[in-house]
Every structure is written in C-alpha cells, then in structure tokens.
C-alpha cells in the first residue's frame, strides 16, 4: 500500500549550551492511510520531538533536516509550508487533555476558530462542530458547545481534542500518548474511538505510547526507537511476537502474559537493566550496546544500519541474534 | 445552561462581601475615634474649639455623645450613609464638600495614570516576553529597573522642571492655568466636564495639567505591570493549550491575542488591582508637588493638621475605592476566567 506520510532520514538538533545536540538521528517513518503506526521507545528517545517536527511546531531552538512527504508532496523546508499543513492535512493531539484545551474559551469557539480558512461561514462551522462532537460521542453537543473545558472529565476532554483535530478534515492524525494521562477505565474508550476514526475516515494514524498492550491492540505497524534512532520496524503483530532487535526483545520480554489485572498499567515497558541512553549521552556505535546481552566488540564501534529483514521488517543490529532459518525459508517461498 | 445565572449569583455574592467590608471599616473607624486618648469631643473638634461650650454642645447633639454607645453608633452610621462626615478642623467647612472636590480630581488623575501604566505595561511586557533575551527585552529591562529604583518625588520634581519650566511644553502646577475658568460641574472631573460643555480649550488645558503628574504617577506601576506581564506571558507560552493552538494551524497573531494574552490577563488583572495602593501612595507625593487638589493632597494635609474628621472622611473614601476596585477585579476575574465562577 502507498504511504500517506513518509519521513526519510529525519535529523533534529536542539540548541545546547555549547553546540547543538543531535537528538533525532536519521529516523524513517511511514504512515499508511486507514492504518495505525505505533511508535514505542523509552522516555527521551525522541518520539515527541520527531512527531512535533512533522507539523513544524518545535520551538526556535530546534533545527531539523530530512524529507517529509505527504502523499508524495514535500512539506516543510523547501516544500509546502507547515502553516498550510497543520490542522488541515496533519492534526495532532497531546498527552494531557486537562491542559491541552484553553481553559477560558468555550468549546464551541475552540472547535470553530480554525474552520474559517476553509471558506465556511460561521453557521456552517457551528453545525460541523456539533457533528464532530457527536462523532466523538460527546453527550449533548448543544450544551457542550457553550461549556468550558473544566466542565468535562479527562476522557471527555480528550474526545473534544480529537474532535478539534478533525475540524480541518486531516489525512493524518498524530496522537502523542493520548491516553497516558487518563484513568484506566476511560483509556479503552478513547483508543477505540481513534481506531474507529482511522477506519471510517481512512485516516493515517501515528500513535506514540509507552503501553505495549495498547500497541498490540491498536497498531498495524510498529516502529521502535532508541536514543533518537529507529532500531526496529515492521508489522506490529510480527514485531511483538518475534522481535528481531535485542532492544525490542527486552521490551516485549517484559510483558506479563495474559490480560493485566489493573487494565494495562503493568504492561507499560518495564525498566530494562542498565542506564537508558539519551540523545545527550548516546554511546558510540550501537547506542544500546552497554545494555545489550548480545553485544560484541564491534557494536561499540560501528553504528548498525537499518536493514531489511523480510516481510516489511527492518532492524538495526550488527549481530541479528534472532535470525532464524525458518524466516529465510518463509521469505524465499514467497 | 447554568453558566449565565451562576455568573450573576457570583456578582451578587461579591457585592454582598463588598458592602460587609465597608460596614466593617466604618465600624472600626467609629471605635478608633473613641479609643484615641482624650475625650471624643476634643479629638473631633480640636483642643481650641473644644473649649468653646457652644461648639461642644453642637457636637454633642450632632453625634449624640451624651447617649449610650450603641445609639451613638447608630447615629454615626446614619450620618455617614447620608454623606455627613462632620466639619474639618482644617478648613472649618464640611468634610463632605472638600471630598466632593478632591475625589473627582484624583479620579481623573488616577484613571489617566492607570491607563498609561496598563497600556504601556502590557505592551512592553508582552513585547519583552516575545523577544525574550533579545535586544528589545534587554532595553525594556533597563527601563523597568530604572523605573523601580528612581524615587517618585525626584522624578516629579525633575519632570516639572524639565517639561514645564525648561521646555515650557506643559503648563505648571494645579488643575487649570490661571485665568481659565473651571467647566460647569457635572462629574467634577474637569476634562470630562469640559467635554460635556463643549469647551475644547478648557479640556486641552485640564488634560495638559494631568499629563505630567499622571505620567509620573504611572511610572512605578507601569514598571511593575511590565514585569508581571512578561512573566505571565512567558508562562502561558509554555502551556499545552498554546501548543494545541499552534497545532490547529492558527496564525501567530491570533494565538497571541485570543489565546496567550487572554490567559495572561488573569494574573495581570490581579496585579493591576493590587497596584492601586501604590498609586494612592504615589498620589500623596505627586499631588502635593504638583499642587493638585485631590485626595492625596487632602490626606497629606489632614494628617499634618491632625484633622480627625478629615482623616475619617478620607479613610472611608479610600476604603470605598479599595473595596470598589477589588470588587471590579473579582468580577473581571469571573468574566475572563470561567473556572472562578463555579467555585
Ligand atoms: N525543550 C527541550 N529542550 C532541550 N532538549 C529537549 C527539549 N525537549 C526534548 N529535548 C531532548 O530531546 C530528547 C527527546 O525528547 P522527546 O520529548 O522527544 O522524548 P520522548 O521519546 O517523547 O520521551 P517521553 O516518552 O518521555 O515523552 C530528550 O532526551 C531531550 O534531551
Ligand atoms: S548491534 Fe550489538 S549491541 Fe546493538 S543491539 Fe545488536 S547486538 Fe546488541
Ligand atoms: Mg513524549
């Protein structure tokens, strides 16, 4: 299937005390229409920064390089300006719904203030806002239009934020940990909503989460990041069932079997032994080598390239310890 | 649904609190006048007049000083409600008459100073926040540091000397130039009364007389408002909902006005409300230096003369203004921040 959003060799620097620090180092991402791309990785691995760079909302202290294409068209530097893309073609929702809506502006206003550019008049925009509220299952949209964010629960606010992201009829929805701040009981509802919108609207969804259980349930494709680089990507079920990269293997290995009793919290990635590498103190060679049980001498020297591993899968490991002859046979049989 | 009615409930509640506060202040003043050493009559009349039996008797009748304290209290309060603040020991006229002249004079000076400091302060503070660390920010910082450290009386004298005597750009002291007749009294504020009467020449003269003392009075509060606005705007710029606004594709101008400043106004309004004390303190000095017959000057002179009725009158007026301003800020709060109305 064709990629809706394609990111090639994304590099992001952040202004540091002495010189810029490379926080995202050559990330490739592909989002297909009507499917969910999951991004996983420890805290500080550059997930949010990468996502925010795709609509150009990183602050002045960030610089990026790389190719971002939407339906083949180059956007950002040297292409269509982000200002024309944001909210229209690519929308984004954030982690904390309690703070991501303006506390002093009525929901109705927040849902319509960015509709003007598509040439709608205000009555139309109003009607459309109500429809969107209905679509994200907000009870009593007429009342909701006049209400303020503090009059809604966290889950409801996240639904409103999603409705707001849909105003411009975007092709891509980026959700940065959309349920992390929510009560476990409402997480599932919000995730189901995102999945439903993805299918019904043929949206390309990119979802960032710490929760591998969520990944398992939601994601069609999965990209795993470590210290600002992609270490593994591929179809989500395959990556989760038979990881090819030692880091992914450790992440997945920390998943307890069976449904978690607390509804998902325990399935969050368990801390892997050793100090997580951040882009600020990225080890030479393979960034994972100080914590990797398979590490060899060369791992500390050579940066492993991201290599094709068959069936749409890629991973970046010099040793490739989970290589299996079965996989090769299967691949050859195709 | 309940949003509108809960707002009015909030207004009524705050109004009730304001009335209660004023009642408290008036009561405390009543008690204070009776706690001052010496008998009440000499305190209220001054030693000299108190020796005169006729004046003593008039005083006793006026305030019912021979009656029990609760009855005195009742009389005191009814007198106040009717606008009778007693006779000034300093002017020998009713305190109420002097207040009627001084309050509008100070009001027009204070309003001008308030406008100058709020408009300039919010503008400079916002600019400073948006240009954080850059040249404009640093220049504004120099201005505010200077504004806070320069003593007001010095600034007033220098301004008077430079603008009125040296450059002769502005008239000197007072409310009007010699020979200019005050406009017919409607509000007591010369600028507004002149406009109402269509006397443009008088308006210009009164306005020019306000400008220098108004600007001097504005300096201190303007610097504080600049500082507060800068930090409020910087804080709001980091909020998640500003990032959301950007992600929605709003223009940066719209984000600044509709989202950032709107949120930053909550702390700014508080500061402007609190700032009133500073304006009043400044008014005592500035009005004396510019010979501007407002409540600042009246306060200063009443205190110097130990004019008890004058001080009680001024005290009540100041209390009314304070309570009024805090009422207005609270209501403004409720208007700009829907979360406050509910609690
Ligand atoms: N405002 C900032 N200023 C400087 N450096 C930053 C800033 N934001 C992020 N970084 C750097 O970029 C790196 C990646 O941050 P990012 O927020 O993308 O991580 P993340 O993968 O989303 O983590 P989390 O799971 O905690 O959200 C961090 O390690 C941090 O060093
Ligand atoms: S390259 Fe070496 S250190 Fe890195 S994951 Fe593979 S085996 Fe481990
Ligand atoms: Mg993040």
Average pLDDT in the A297-301 region?
A: 94
Q: What is the pLDDT of residue A203?
A: 96
Ligand number with the minimum distance to the CA of A285 = 2
Residue of chain A with shortest Cα separation from B130: A60
pLDDT tens per residue, range B60-86: 777 777 788 888 888 888 888 888 888
Q: What is the pLDDT of residue B36?
A: 67
- CB of residue A277 inside a 6 A radius of ligand 1: no
Question: For an interface test with A, which of B129, B134, B236, B247 has the most A Cβ atoms less than 10 Å from its Cβ?
Answer: B247
pLDDT band at A261 (very low <50, low <70, confident <90, very high): very low
Contact B248 A167 (CB under 8 A): yes
3-state secondary structure of A22: strand
Which strands, in side-by-side order, build the sheet including A21-32? A21-32, A3-14, A62-70, A73-75
Model's pTM, two decimal places?
0.83
Q: What is the pLDDT of residue A175?
A: 96
Contact A148 B247 (CB under 8 A): no
Rounded distance, CA B285 to CA B288, Å? 5
Distance A333 CA to ligand 2 centre (A): 29
Of B247, B263, B336, the CB nearest to A87: B247
Rounded distance, CA B270 to CA B185, Å? 34
Question: Measuring from atom 14 of ligand 1, which residue has the nearest CA?
Answer: A46
- How many CB atoms sit inside 10 A of residue A60's CB? 6
Q: What is the pLDDT of residue A177?
A: 94
Distance A161 CA to ligand 2 centre (A): 40
pLDDT band at A264 (very low <50, low <70, confident <90, very high): very low
Question: Measuring from atom 7 of ligand 1, which residue has the nearest CA?
Answer: A14
CA trace torsion B41, B45, B51, B57 (10° rounding) = -60
Distance A272 CA to ligand 2 centre (A): 15
How do strand A21-32 and strand A3-14 relate by DSSP bridges? antiparallel
Q: Which of B140, B112, B330 is nearest to B231 (CA)?
A: B140
pLDDT tens per residue, range B11-28: 898 899 999 999 999 898
Q: Where are the alpha helices (DSSP H) in B134-189?
A: 135-149, 152-159
Distance A45 CA to ligand 1 centre (A): 7
- Mean pLDDT taken over chain B: 87
- CB of residue A45 inside a 6 A radius of ligand 1: yes
Which residue's structure tokens are 């409310």?
Answer: B175
Closest-CA distance, A96 to chain B, in angstroms, reads 8
Q: Which of B333, B224, B204, B233 is nearest to B276 (CA)?
A: B224
From A24, A47, A49, the mutation candidate for ligand 1 (largest count of ligand atoms within 8 A of CB) is: A49
Give φ, ψ of B39 to 5 degrees.
-85, 155
Q: Catalogue the long-range contacts made by B24-27 (C-beta closer than 8 Å, 24 or more residues apart).
A: B25/B315, B25/B316, B25/B319, B25/B323, B26/B76, B26/B77, B26/B80, B26/B316, B26/B319, B27/B73
Bridge partners, A175 (sequence order): A93, A207
Could you give the percent of chain A with pLDDT greater than 70? Answer: 90
Q: What is the pLDDT of residue B58?
A: 78
Q: Where are the domains of chain A?
A: 90-169, 243-333
Rounded distance, CA B233 to CA B226, Å? 10
pLDDT band at A218 (very low <50, low <70, confident <90, very high): very high
Question: Measuring from atom 30 of ligand 1, which residue has the nearest CA?
Answer: A44
Angle between helices B276-289 and B308-336 (to 10 degrees): 140
B185 Cβ under 8 Å from any chain A Cβ = no
Q: What is the pLDDT of residue B128?
A: 97
Contact A57 B258 (CB under 8 A): no
B 239-268 residues inside an 8 A Cβ radius of A:
239-241, 243-251, 254, 258-259, 262-263, 266
How many alpha carbons lie under 13 Å from residue B314 in its C-beta half-sphere?
22
pLDDT tens per residue, range B141-179: 999 999 889 998 899 999 988 988 888 878 878 899 888
User: Which range, of A37-41, A157-161, B217-221, B328-332, averages the lowest pLDDT?
Assistant: B328-332
3-state secondary structure of B86: coil
State in words which class domain B99-342 has: mainly alpha
3-state secondary structure of B307: coil
- Mean pLDDT taken over chain A: 88
Rounded distance, CA B285 to CA B294, Å? 11
Could you give the percent of chain B with pLDDT greater than 70? Answer: 95
Question: Measuring from atom 3 of ligand 2, which residue has the nearest CA?
Answer: A289
Q: What is the pLDDT of residue A275?
A: 81
Q: Which of B241, B251, B269 is nearest to B333 (CA)?
A: B269
Q: Are B88 and B100 in contact (CB under 8 A)?
A: no
How many alpha carbons lie under 13 Å from residue A173 in its C-beta half-sphere?
30
> What stretches in chain B show pLDDT beneath 70?
1-4, 36-40, 43-44, 341-343
Q: Are B152 and B286 in contact (CB under 8 A)?
A: yes
Q: Where are the alpha helices (DSSP H) in B64-198?
A: 69-81, 95-130, 135-149, 152-159, 190-196
Q: What is the pLDDT of residue A263?
A: 43
Q: Where are the domains of chain B?
A: 3-81, 99-342
Distance A206 CA to ligand 3 centre (A): 13
Contact B337 A83 (CB under 8 A): no
Q: Are B28 and B35 in contact (CB under 8 A)?
A: no
As for the ipTM of the complex, it is: 0.86
Of B247, B266, B336, the CB nearest to A55: B247
3-state secondary structure of A37: strand
Q: What is the pLDDT of residue B339?
A: 77
Question: For an interface test with A, which of B6, B132, B243, B249 has the most A Cβ atoms less than 10 Å from its Cβ?
Answer: B249
CA atoms A185, A188, A191, A196: torsion sign: negative
Distance A330 CA to ligand 3 centre (A): 37
pLDDT at A166 exceeding the cut of 90: yes
Which residue's structure tokens are 């500003």?
Answer: B242
Question: Measuring from atom 6 of ligand 2, which residue has the nearest CA?
Answer: A317
């Amino acid at each position: 299937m064709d990629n809706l959003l394609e990111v090639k060799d994304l590099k992001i620097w952040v202004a540091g005390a002495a010189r810029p620090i490379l926080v995202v180092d050559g990330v490739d991402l592909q989002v297909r229409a009507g499917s969910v791309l999951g991004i996983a990785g420890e805290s500080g691995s550059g997930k949010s920064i990468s996502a925010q760079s795709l609509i150009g909302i990183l602050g002045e202290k960030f610089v990026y390089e790389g190719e971002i294409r939407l339906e083949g068209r180059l956007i950002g530097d040297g292409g269509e300006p982000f200002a024309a893309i944001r909210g229209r073609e690519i929308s984004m929702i954030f982690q904390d719904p309690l703070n991501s809506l303006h506390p002093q502006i009525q929901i109705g206003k927040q849902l319509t203030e960015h509709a003007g550019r598509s040439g709608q008049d205000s009555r139309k925009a109003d009607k459309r806002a109500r429809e969107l509220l209905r679509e994200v299952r907000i009870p009593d949209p007429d009342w909701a239009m006049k209400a303020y964010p503090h009059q809604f629960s966290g889950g409801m606010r996240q639904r409103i934020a999603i409705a707001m992201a849909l105003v411009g009829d975007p092709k891509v929805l980026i959700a940065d940990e959309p349920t992390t701040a929510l009560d476990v009981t409402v997480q599932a509802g919000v995730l189901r909503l995102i999945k439903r919108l993805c299918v019904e609207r043929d949206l390309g969804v990119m979802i960032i989460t710490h929760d591998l259980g969520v990944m398992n349930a939601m994601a069609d494709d999965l990209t795993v990041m470590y210290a600002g680089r992609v270490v593994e990507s591929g179809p989500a079920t395959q990556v989760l069932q038979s990881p090819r990269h030692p880091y992914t293997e450790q992440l997945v290995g920390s998943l307890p079997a069976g449904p978690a009793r607390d509804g998902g919290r325990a399935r969050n990635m368990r801390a892997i032994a050793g100090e997580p590498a951040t882009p600020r103190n990225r080890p030479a060679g393979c960034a994972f080598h100080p914590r990797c049980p398979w590490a060899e001498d060369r791992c500390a020297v050579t940066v492993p390239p991201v290599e094709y591993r068959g069936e749409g899968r890629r991973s970046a490991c010099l040793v490739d310890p989970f290589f299996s002859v079965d996989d090769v046979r299967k691949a050859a049989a195709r | 649904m309940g949003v509108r009615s809960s707002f009015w409930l909030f207004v009524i509640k705050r109004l009730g609190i304001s009335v209660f506060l004023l009642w408290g202040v008036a009561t405390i003043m009543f008690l204070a006048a009776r706690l001052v050493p010496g008998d009440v009559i000499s305190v209220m009349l001054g030693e000299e007049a108190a020796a005169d039996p006729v004046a003593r008797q008039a005083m006793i009748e006026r305030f019912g000083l021979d009656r029990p304290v609760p009855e005195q209290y009742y009389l005191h309060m009814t007198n106040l409600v009717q606008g009778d603040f007693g006779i000034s020991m300093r002017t020998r006229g009713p305190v109420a008459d002097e207040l009627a002249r001084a309050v509008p004079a100070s009001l027009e000076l204070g309003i001008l100073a308030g406008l100058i400091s709020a408009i300039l302060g919010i503008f400079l503070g916002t600019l400073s926040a948006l240009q954080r660390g850059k040249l404009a920010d640093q220049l504004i910082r120099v201005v505010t540091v200077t504004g806070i450290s320069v003593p007001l009386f010095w600034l007033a004298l220098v301004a008077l000397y430079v603008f009125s005597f040296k450059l002769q750009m502005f008239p000197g002291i007072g409310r009007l130039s010699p020979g200019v007749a005050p406009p017919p009294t409607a509000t007591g504020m010369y600028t507004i009364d002149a406009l109402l009467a269509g006397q443009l020449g008088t308006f210009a003269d009164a306005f020019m007389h306000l400008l220098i003392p108004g600007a001097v009075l504005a300096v201190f509060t303007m610097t504080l408002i600049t500082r507060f606005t800068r930090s409020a705007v910087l804080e709001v710029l980091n909020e998640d909902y500003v990032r959301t606004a950007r992600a929605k594709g709003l223009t940066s101008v719209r984000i600044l006005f509709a989202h950032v400043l709107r949120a930053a106004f909550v702390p700014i309004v508080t500061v402007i409300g609190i700032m009133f004390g500073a304006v009043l303190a400044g008014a005592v000095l500035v009005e004396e230096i510019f010979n501007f017959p407002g409540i600042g000057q009246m306060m200063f002179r009443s205190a110097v003369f130990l004019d008890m009725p004058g001080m009680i009158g001024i005290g009540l007026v100041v209390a009314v203004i304070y309570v009024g301003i805090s009422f207005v800020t609270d209501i403004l709060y409720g208007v700009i921040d829907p979360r406050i109305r509910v609690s």
